[in-house]
Amino acid sequence: MAVCVFDVDPARAAALAKELGESAAYVGGDVANDADVSGAIGAAQSMGPLSLLVNVAGGGVGGGRTVGRDGSSHGRAAFTTTLEMNAVATFNACRLVAAAMAENIPDDEGQRGVMVNTASIAGYEGQIGQLSYAAGKAAILGMTLPMARDLAPLGIRVCAIAPGIVGTPAMERVSGQVKEHLLKGMVFPKRMGKPEEFALLVEQVASNPYLNGENIRLDGGLRFAPK
């Protein structure tokens, strides 16, 4: 299987592609930019049919309460920027890739492609100060079923994964005290998730033709407390 890595940081994309081996290529660009996404689609199609999209772009800026302790209201720009980084960026990649997948020859199940988006359990139970991030991730969860229904005639499945606390490089850098607080509500296993466990779920969604229109939690039983 060939893989095209698409990242806003070309150096990071190149490093990952090198790690994956000769069957991987990379493209630098912004998932919110139509021309950049089209370039990534073209690069992927040059290696074979584009049959799987995994959207992991996201993030947040300027978190805070709707009204802060000092009486100031939540910044509008921070809210809209965070929605752009999560919901709009995910939608943009999906709409353009779906059009490309529609050109694929269907398999024996009539399937032309699979799209896996990344939400968060914050989209279900956002914490205090997570308003914009929770809204962005909730929007991704809300896209899943209508997008799956929209794309059913084309044979394209859509699912979303809602991770809990995953040991990404950014999360590994937080203090031990913060980690301990975040993991307090974990049921089992009492640790952060592993990136490999996220990848395993992506693989299952991609390989199981009866998974469609589903938002799947990957959180070790964690439910976020209010703070």
- Residues serving a catalytic function are 133
The 3-state secondary structure of 19-37 reads HHCCCEEEEECCCCCHHHH
Pairing of strands 3-7, 24-28: parallel
With the C-alpha atoms ordered 227, 88, 19, 215, is the resulting torsion angle positive or negative? Answer: positive
Pinpoint the alpha helices (H) of 54-88.
76-83
C-alpha 79/C-alpha 133 separation (Å) is: 8
- Give how far Cα 38 sits from Cα of 13, 54, 101, 121, Å: 17, 15, 13, 30
